[in-house]
Amino acid sequence: MIQLHRMNGKEFLLNSDQIKFVEATPDTLITLAFNDEKFMVKESVSEVVEKIIEYKKKWLWGVPAHKES
């Protein structure tokens, strides 16, 4: 699960395995694969991709998430 923010600032978790598309419309729009439900989020497309990569690294290989100083 990745942590994202709705446009109103409310935080939620999203199962990244269910993502079909991530688009800049110019806001970031995420479409789910199983039901085409859409979520508009504050994070940029590149931020969403980075969150997915970090989650996969941690979950699949036990690699700690990168933390910036």
Give the model's confidence band at 57: pLDDT under 50 very low, under 70 low, under 90 confident, else very high: confident
**β-bridge partners, 38:** 31
30 burial class (0-12, 13-18, 19+ CB within 10 angstroms)? Answer: buried
What pLDDT score was predicted for residue 42?
98
Tens digits of per-residue pLDDT, 19-49? 999 999 999 999 999 999 999 999 999 999 9
Q: Which two tokens stand for residue 8?
A: 């109103």
Confidence (pTM) = 0.83
What pLDDT score was predicted for residue 9?
97
